[in-house]
Amino acid sequence: MRFRIRFAQQVVGFFILAALATLVVVLILMGLNQRWFDRGYSFYSRFQSADGLTPGMPIHLRGFEIGKVTSVDLNSNNRVNVVLQIYSEYYDKIKPNSVLELEQGTFGIGGGLNLLPGKNLLPPMEPDSFLPSTDTLLGKNLLAQGLVDQPANNDQMSAILAEVQTTLSGVNLLLNNVNSAIDGTSNNQLTGLLQGVNATLRSLDSVLTESAHGLVPNLSAITANLAKLSAQLQDPKGLIPKLLDPKGSLATILNDNNQLYNEVQSILDQVNQTLVQVRGLTQYLNQSTPQITGVIEDTRTTLKKADDVMTGLANNPLLKGGIPEKKPQNATFHDLRDEDF
């Protein structure tokens, strides 16, 4: 018989008792950790709004949980009364001038109240006394007077802001380096780079200067020629007045009582008559095209019949060999398409 079956009662007894023992141990540990048996010391405070405040939320001092919010109520003046329970272990931390501030958790999770203890060595406040919050005038005054021990913020936003501050410092340092490099007062890589750029620009300047020395005489010669041409055009005895002179060659040619014009006109008339004749010929050819086509077709039919007759004669045994061979003569017309490639 298997062990479990044989000792079923013992196994089941252990199974159930161990579970119950676990439950009891968990409850005892919960009680100890949550201070179920510690009555603590009660205080009360006041806030402007209950946003972020819930009964049971922890009260922290430098990250340690020192108590809990017992209740949150709206009073007759529309202010929020908050009753706190401070654990006995931390009662001596509640010094006079202590202030409570609401600690907002990230994404609304993990919030609580922070106790900012008073800066003094006085004995702790009496139980059930008023602990001002940062929402109250008294709390703000205590903070303004520096009577409250405020630790440096160490939340996520502070960490992000610290990172931003570090980044900005880095950017500032970079800008200083760039500035000193531009001034030439530093001896880093950027300065070397800028000096190199400067040297390159100087070299370019000298190259351009040398090139300009060669180009300038040519440009001067072109400019001089243009000036000379312009002067000739403006000369009253130059080319233009000679062309426009009524006694000049051009005027003499043109002033011939329209003889030149008439000759040109007669040539154009003859050309016109020739073109009219060509057009008439073209029209005649267009009209005669069917007849020409018929003649060509008849000629082709006749040639085919003649070819048949010649074939018959060639095949006639009586006449076979009677026709003398002719030496073929190549055509004089030569077309590029007939070329062998």
Per rule CB under 8 A, is residue 123 in the interface with other proteins? Answer: no
Report DSSP state, residue 41. E
Site for other proteins (CB under 8 A): which residue of 6, 26, 202, 275?
26
User: Applying CB under 8 A, which part among 40-48, 107-115, 116-124, 236-244 lies near other proteins?
Assistant: 107-115
Per rule CB under 8 A, is residue 3 in the interface with other proteins? Answer: no
Half-sphere exposure of 73 (CA within 13 A, CB side): 9
To other proteins, the closest distance from the beta carbon of 116 in angstroms equals 20
Please, which of residues 42-71 interact with other proteins by CB under 8 A? 65
Residue by residue, DSSP assigns 50-116 as: -TT--TT-EEEETTEEEEEEEEEEE-TTS-EEEEEEE-GGGGGG--TT-EEEEEPPGGG-S-EEEEE
To other proteins, the closest distance from the beta carbon of 187 in angstroms equals 44
Per rule CB under 8 A, is residue 105 in the interface with other proteins? Answer: yes
Per rule CB under 8 A, is residue 12 in the interface with other proteins? Answer: yes
CA distance 53 to 113: 8
Cβ atoms within 10 Å, residue 80? 18
Of 108 and 290, CB closest to other proteins: 108
To other proteins, the closest distance from the beta carbon of 30 in angstroms equals 5
Please, which of residues 250-289 interact with other proteins by CB under 8 A? none
Task: Provide the token pair at 337.
Answer: 């398409």
The backbone torsions φ and ψ at residue 185, rounded to the nearest 5 degrees and listed phi first, read: -90, -15
Per rule CB under 8 A, is residue 107 in the interface with other proteins? Answer: yes
To other proteins, the closest distance from the beta carbon of 157 in angstroms equals 12
Per rule CB under 8 A, is residue 15 in the interface with other proteins? Answer: yes
Per rule CB under 8 A, is residue 159 in the interface with other proteins? Answer: no
SS3 14: helix
The backbone torsions φ and ψ at residue 85, rounded to the nearest 5 degrees and listed phi first, read: -125, 115
